[in-house]
Amino acid sequence: MSKFKYLEDVVTLEYDQEKCVGCTMCTIVCPHEVFRMEAKKAFLLARNLCMECGACMRNCPAGAITVEAGEGCVRGIINELLGIEGPCC
């Protein structure tokens, strides 16, 4: 999946590393390996590879991850059509 990519900088994924308890669930459930463990905390490795399925958020016991499932690419396309520039999220 390393060559698979969604639109750049439109994903709604947000991660608060301070809240991370090191459970590794995000690294287990993410189909695109967006997260990696470093020093007993998750590290956001490849934000733009996120497909916004929400599995990481639903499985994070600490509430360190938020994502609006399936919204980022749609927002990016709509913003482009409306002529809105810059990050959409």
Nearest to 15 by CA among 31, 27, 2, 3: 27
Q: How many whole angstroms separate alpha carbon 45 and alpha carbon 34?
A: 5
Provide the pLDDT for residue 51.
Answer: 84
User: 14-82 is classed in which CATH architecture?
Assistant: 2-Layer Sandwich (3.30)
Residue pLDDT, tens place only, 67-76: 987 665 556 6
Provide the pLDDT for residue 64.
Answer: 98
Provide the pLDDT for residue 87.
Answer: 53
Residue pLDDT, tens place only, 26-53: 999 998 899 999 999 999 999 988 888 8
Average pLDDT over residues 67-86: 68
- Measure the CA dihedral 63/64/65/68, to 10°: 60
Q: How many whole angstroms separate alpha carbon 81 and alpha carbon 53?
A: 24
Compute the C-alpha angle 50/17/45, nearest 5°.
Answer: 35
